[in-house]
């Protein structure tokens, strides 16, 4: 403030002050963003290994999110650069030197910004704590199935005429291995983002319901994952009717 007062006394131009404040604010914010991204890159792997928390790379973030981040950066530069410049330029050099204190009623905007910053800081702390509790809940929650020591093998998308025979040979080969405790075949695995659908089509002629689906599981799926059935029974391999039966989760 004393620097601004001296420069105003010797005839400094307002445009020069605004340019200086904005340049300094831009530099500080760029350094802050660079440090933040460096920290994110540094803790990316430990977060994924220790907590299973995936942080996407900047290149994979959607354009809409990138626009929001860029807008927040510009707003931060504007408030941290333009606002101090306007406030300091409105004051007389005597006030800037500290000989006369600024009245409280004229500093309401500054108090409001300080309060806003504290609110944002508290909100970030609460948000970080909430995310930590959510991750703790997800990692420790009993989801009703056992996926430990499970190896997922993705089957080929292109299917030949010998596809079913080859799958049976693969399953028999895996089951004969002493290191394998169980094998199951399914359209997707728990936690996969594959979208499955099941359509229940009503037949008006006999009031029956037929099942149409783009995937399914075999009779080993339930015992393989240790899933407990609340009612009903599991699929049976020797029951042709089970090919159109469903289990509700």
45-89: per-residue pLDDT in tens? 888 877 767 777 777 778 888 888 889 888 888 888 877 777 777
Answering whether pTM is above 0.75, one says no
- Point out which residues pair with 211 in neighbouring strands: 200
No. of helices (H) and no. of strands (E), the chain: 8, 2
**Cα atoms in the 13 Å half-sphere on the side-chain side of 18:** 8
Residue 216, Cβ density class (10 Å: 0-12 exposed, 13-18 middle, ≥19 buried)? buried
C-alpha pair distances (Å), 5 with each of 22, 84, 100, 231: 18, 13, 13, 81
Write the pLDDT tens digit of every residue in 165-222.
998 899 999 999 999 999 998 888 887 766 666 676 666 666 566 666 666 888 899 9
Alpha-carbon distance 162 to 170, whole Å? 12
C-alpha pair distances (Å), 81 with each of 6, 85, 95, 113: 19, 6, 20, 13
3-state secondary structure of 209: strand
């Amino acid at each position: 403030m004393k620097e601004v007062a001296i420069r105003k006394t010797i005839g400094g131009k307002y445009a020069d002050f605004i340019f200086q404040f904005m340049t300094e604010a831009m530099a500080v914010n760029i350094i802050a963003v660079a440090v933040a991204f460096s920290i994110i890159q540094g803790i990316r792997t430990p977060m994924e290994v220790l907590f299973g928390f995936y942080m996407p790379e900047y290149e994979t973030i959607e354009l809409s999110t990138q626009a929001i981040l860029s807008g927040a950066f510009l707003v931060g530069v504007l408030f941290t650069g333009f606002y101090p410049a306007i406030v300091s330029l409105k004051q007389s050099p005597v006030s800037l030197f500290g000989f006369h204190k600024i009245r409280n009623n004229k500093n309401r905007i500054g108090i409001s910004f300080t309060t806003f910053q504290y609110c944002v800081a508290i909100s970030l702390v609460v948000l970080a704590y909430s995310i930590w509790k959510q991750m703790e809940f997800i990692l420790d929650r009993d989801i009703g199935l056992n996926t430990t020591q499970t190896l997922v093998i993705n089957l080929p998308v292109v299917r030949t005429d010998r596809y079913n025979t080859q799958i049976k040979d693969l399953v028999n080969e895996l089951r004969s291995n002493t290191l394998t405790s169980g094998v199951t075949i399914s359209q997707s695995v728990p936690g996969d983002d594959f979208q499955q659908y099941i359509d229940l089509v009503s037949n008006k002629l006999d009031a029956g319901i037929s099942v149409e689906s783009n995937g399914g599981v075999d009779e080993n799926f339930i015992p393989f994952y240790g899933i407990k059935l609340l009612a009903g029974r599991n699929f049976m391999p020797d029951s042709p009717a089970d090919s159109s039966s469903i289990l509700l989760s």
